[in-house]
A and B are shown apart, each in its own frame.
Chain A
Amino acid sequence: MHEMGIILHLAKTLEETAEQEQIKKITRVTLEVGEVSGIITDYFTDCWNYFRRKHPVLESAELDLQTLPAVTFCGNCEKTYPTVQYGRTCPYCGSGETWLLKGNECIIKEIEVED
């Protein structure tokens, strides 16, 4: 139930922002989701559509999910490569001593609000 937990926090963060900025209605929420963040986007959207109805300020907000590519760094040859394509083994030198540089984030990029 990873998605539900994230949605709960997302809703709370947005409600706090709405209160601070005196926003009555949010119409769109753009999220940047890392390719390997572990978020299943269909499920995430389902959770959002269920949950937004409980919050007046969010109920008409569409979710726009933008994928951020995942990049892995090889500790052996110090090159970077696309994570989803090659996984944990470096395509240049075959080393398994590799680390994810980015691609597991989930960031609220921007929101669209009614004037």
Chain B
Amino acid sequence: MKIIELKETVTASNDRDAAVLRAELKEKGTLLVNLMASPGAGKTTLLERTIRDLKDEMNIAVMEADVDSDVDAVRIEKIGAKAVQAHTDGMCHMDAGMTRRALEGLGDEQFDLVVLENVGNLICPAEFDTGAGRCVMLLSVPEGDDKPLKYPLMFKVSDVLIITKTDVAPYFDFDFDACVARAKKLNPDITIFKVSAKTGDGFEEWESWLKSAVKNWKN
């Protein structure tokens, strides 16, 4: 018998696959954005409006990851972007291997931006690197300003936090300053936007960030 010390995280093989995928996408000039949030935070609604605003400036595709059904992919295709539905077969997250297979499902077309709409969940998706160039998370006003305290890892791994559904803020006791302070404490570099997909508030700032992220990825 021989003991071999590894001291490696269980997801080390996924981290390696993710790094390879990220390098390939960089080479191709395709920015992959991993979009994460709770179920019902407004991921698909945010994407619908964003795609409608930006589709004439860049070639966008969406990969919808869900445990089942294709309702989200149908919604995205209606807006005029290419969409594929990836089923996770009961798994609560996407990993780098599943992301690669979903990307293959998009075919040979060249995209400037591919958005992976991850499974609705603030826990597991944060633990698995998908190979994305940028991670964007959503937190909707009805969910509450205490979420950074409850799900710190998600806020730590995200480059951007978008607080959605700001139009309903008058009906909830959502403390924006407290939420921003909590998120910044976990991740001082996080960029924060406040938007409402209903009114369009805040979309200019978010879309301008996204446009420069796509441009910078190509350099």
Contact = CB atoms under 8 A, between A and B. Distances in A.
A72 to B, nearest CB: 10
B157 to A, nearest CB: 13
B197 interface: no
B9 A106 contact: yes
Interface residues of A, number: 35
B1 A6 contact: no
Interface in B5-23: 5-14
Interface SS of B by simple majority: mixed
B92 interface: yes
A88 interface: yes
Contacts of B2: 112-115
Contact of B128 (A5, A12, A108): A5
Contact of B9 (A17, A107, A113, A115): A107
Nearest to A15: B13
Given A99-B186, A106-B9, A9 B3 contact: no
B192 interface: no
Nearest to B150: A88
Contacts of B93: 5
In this complex, the member of A5, A10, A21 whose beta carbon has the largest number of chain B beta carbons within 10 angstroms is A5
A75 interface: yes
30 contacts: A1-B90, A1-B92, A2-B92, A5-B93, A6-B11, A9-B13, A9-B14, A13-B8, A13-B12, A21-B4, A23-B4, A27-B1, A38-B123, A75-B185, A97-B149, A99-B185, A104-B153, A105-B9, A106-B10, A107-B8, A108-B6, A109-B5, A110-B3, A110-B5, A112-B1, A112-B3, A112-B4, A113-B2, A114-B1, A115-B1
Given A2-B92, A27-B1, A108-B10, 9 more contacts: A1-B91, A5-B92, A5-B124, A5-B128, A13-B10, A99-B186, A111-B4, A114-B1, A114-B2
Closest 6 CB pairs of A and B: A12-B13, A13-B13, A10-B10, A108-B6, A9-B11, A106-B10
Interface of B: 1-14, 90-93, 95, 123-124, 128, 149-150, 152-153, 182, 185-186
